[in-house]
């Protein structure tokens, strides 16, 4: 019962969303905006600003991590890879040592 009510509500919500999108796409206001050079330039500036802000934030986070001596994700991954390699080598040496001991007996 509850499941049917929820599915019906979702279905009606999807229909409403499709109707709104269809109406919006066919509106003259949107067509006017999309044909406006000033609007497109503004959207382009906003997108470029977003990219620039994102780039600056990433750069400053890296700088803060360096100042605080906190390892980056890449540095941690490199250490993890090195640790796995060392574990593998220790296991090999351990197996090799056990073989030598068994041969001596």
Mean pLDDT of 78-103: 89
- Between 14 and 73, the more confident residue is 14
Mean pLDDT of 26-50: 91
* pLDDT band at 105; cut points 50, 70, 90: low
pLDDT tens readout for residues 74-85: 889 999 999 999
* pTM assigned to the model: 0.37
Mean pLDDT of 9-20: 93
- Reported residue count of the chain is 105
What confidence score (pLDDT) does residue 78 get?
Answer: 95
């Amino acid at each position: 019962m509850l499941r049917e009510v929820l599915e019906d509500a979702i279905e009606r919500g999807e229909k409403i969303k499709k109707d709104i999108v269809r109406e919006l796409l066919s509106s003259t206001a949107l067509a006017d905006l999309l044909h406006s050079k000033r609007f497109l330039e503004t959207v382009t500036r906003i997108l470029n600003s977003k990219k620039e802000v994102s780039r600056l934030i990433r750069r400053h986070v890296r700088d803060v991590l360096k100042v605080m001596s906190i390892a980056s994700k890449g540095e941690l991954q490199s250490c993890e890879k090195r640790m796995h390699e060392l574990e593998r080598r220790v296991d090999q040496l351990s197996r090799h040592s056990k073989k030598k001991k068994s041969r001596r007996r």
